[in-house]
Chain A
Amino acid sequence: MLIEATALTAGRVEGILTLLQEPLSLWGGIDLRTGAIIDATHPQCGVVLAGRIVAMRKARGSSSSSSALVEAARAGVAPAAIILEQHDAILVIGALIAAELYGAQIPIVTITASDWPQLRDGEMLSVSSGAQTATIQRLTPSGTASPEGLSPRVG
């Protein structure tokens, strides 16, 4: 599997995909010490997003979600990467500031609705996001064989 994506923020990571069934607001939605989903109304409440490649069709809610992403990055519990269908400026500024303050690279990419069904929860992916374009690639099931040159996952 190789998905061509649009890069919103840069970075190259690999990690396990957590496919969110519903949009999540990072502010009030995740525990900033553990990275676990704490929004009781979310179907995946309790799932830990730290170090995961998190895919959700769109982000939800608060303008404080940028702060939540940066605080999670500081604490080392941020998602390794975020895959969206709908562009989200609030997460973008969060990733830019996380890089500025803590050197944390959190690639955020968008993919088209038609590519969405290719994503499967729990599989090992690499996300490589450059200046404008990005690619999402499935790694071997064990996740041990990574394409050459990829940095270890963040988070």
Chain B
Amino acid sequence: MELESIDRALLAGSFGKAAALAMDILVRYGRVCGAGRFVSITAAHIDACLYHGQSSIDFARRFVELEGRVRVPTTLNVGAVDVVHPEWHCGAPELLGHQRELNGLYARLGCLPTLTCAPYQRRARPSAGEHIAWAESNAIVFANSVLGARTDRYGDFTDLCAALTGRVPLTGLHCEANRQPTRVFKAPEIAATGLPRDLYFAAMGYVLGRLSAGEVPLIRDLPADSTEDELKALGAAGASSGSLALFHAAGITPEATAALSHAVKLNLCEIAISESALCEAIERLCPIAVGETVAAVCLGTPHYSIEEFRKLSHSLEGRKLPFAVEIYVSTSREIAATLKIGADFSALRSSGVKIVVDTCTYVAPVVRGTGAILTTSAKFAHYAPGNLQRRTGLMTLERCLLSAELGKVAPPC
């Protein structure tokens, strides 16, 4: 592997012992990945800050003891629990202390305590063409696809090593050649499917992830007015069902025009995604019956945006309160703070809806009582049955809210 002078200086300890150790790990990692050289990054997003056990602490502490400091702006992904609302936590009590300690260690390394899985919803976010090192599957697919920034699929630990050095091996999705589409899909027209928009994007993502099987898909005929929130839901669903890390949507995403010419040049054949494939995905993610007891509604996987809160608040107007079951919405501390003022969110503030921060309800134990959990998120519906040992149902926001009023699963609306 060819090392530049900055890489050699990092290895030699010119930027401190922590950066030297991080670079040594990255060189070994880069060799295995077949990288020929390193490239500089402009930002990092750390997933290793979610507490999995003592090793999470041991890893961060090793670099704190070596007086490490991140060399690029670095955000933190969600933690295992919401330390802002400890009274909602119903898991092992010691988890709160462990996560607080881990948050503190990453703060000492210079990371911003954003504790969000949607760093792309912050005002400062990467631009097209920037190399970044982001971990967290939904953030990776959003950064690559919607922002046009370049990140490989980073796992825990590589993320911090990249942040401490500002360098990553030039491999994977950092390379132009690996960003070209290898499959082309045609989406069914939204009107023809008869599906509500939120279910359409959730199901499209889930099907796309399965069909792409780790490749880079180009999708044609997604609605031209697809919003960032809808693309976020699509990407998160695809990352859950099939490790989707980059997709191109013709007429929508920044690299789609080049991707389309590439597909034409290679004469890639187009595979049509059927309406029934979307319906099957929805059925698979909603294996529950009308009338079944509901424990809670969980929204915000990935973290809810301000626009999603605005829509939710509007949908809450005129409801019969209190709801029969709790509604939890996961988001970042930064977004939660903006909800405290403004007429846009007054219905939300008086509704009793609980805003969970720092974590996500498919990881953190907050839902009490028995019954199914309802959600608008395919990612939540994919992971929650295993993580929480709960029956889970994917449905529209309106049906979730109606069910929350009833305390039972409402019929499709």
Contact = CB atoms under 8 A, between A and B. Distances in A.
A101 B29 contact: no
A68 B52 contact: yes
Interface in A79-99: 87, 89-90, 92-94, 96-97
A143 B288 CA distance: 49
Contacts, number: 96
Interface string B322-338: 00000000000000000
Interface residues of B, number: 34
B197 interface: no
B53 interface: yes
Interface stretch (B108-116, B148-156, B198-206, B226-234): B148-156
Contact of A90 (B52, B153, B383, B385): B153
Nearest to A68: B52
B60 to A, nearest CB: 11
A94 B155 contact: yes
A40 B157 contact: no
Given A39-B386, A61-B243, A64-B50, A74 B157 contact: no
A111 to B, nearest CB: 15
A87 to B, nearest CB: 8
B292 to A, nearest CB: 20
Interface of A is mostly: helix
Contacts of A128: none
Contact of A101 (B48, B59, B137, B140): B59
B55 A89 contact: no
B59 A97 contact: yes
Contact of A8 (B32, B58, B62, B158): B32
A41 B287 CA distance: 15
Nearest to A91: B155
A32 interface: yes
Contacts of A62: 137
Contacts of B156: 63-64, 66-67, 93-94
B107 interface: no
B378 interface: no
Interface string A36-69: 0001110000000000000000001111111110
A70 B157 CA distance: 10
Contacts of B140: 63
A87 B21 CA distance: 24
A63 B55 contact: no
Contact of A70 (B55, B137, B383): B55
Interface in B60-89: 62
A71 B25 contact: no
A103 B157 CA distance: 16
Given A90-B153, A97-B25, A67 B55 contact: yes
Contact of A28 (B47, B58, B155, B387): B387
Nearest to A100: B25
B386 A63 contact: no
B28 interface: yes
Contacts of A28: 383, 386-387
B372 interface: no
Given A64-B155, A97-B25, A89 B53 contact: no
A71 B52 contact: yes
The interface centre, meaning the residue of B25, B28, B156 with most chain A CB atoms within 10 A of its CB, is B156
Contacts of B243: 60-61
Given A70-B55, A71-B52, A89-B158, A96 B153 contact: no
Nearest to A6: B32
Contacts of B33: 87, 89, 92
A99 B385 CA distance: 33
Contact of B29 (A27, A68, A89): A89
B58 A101 contact: yes
Interface in B135-168: 135-137, 140, 152-158
A75 B243 CA distance: 28
B56 interface: yes
A9 interface: yes
Nearest to A40: B386
B324 to A, nearest CB: 29
Interface string B42-55: 00000110101111
Given A62-B137, A74-B55, A90-B155, A67 B29 contact: no
Interface string A110-139: 000000000000000000000000000000
List 6 A-B pairs, minimum CB-CB distance, nearest first.
Answer: A90-B155, A71-B53, A66-B155, A63-B155, A67-B156, A74-B55
11 contacts: A8-B32, A32-B52, A32-B53, A39-B386, A61-B243, A64-B155, A67-B55, A89-B32, A93-B157, A93-B158, A97-B157
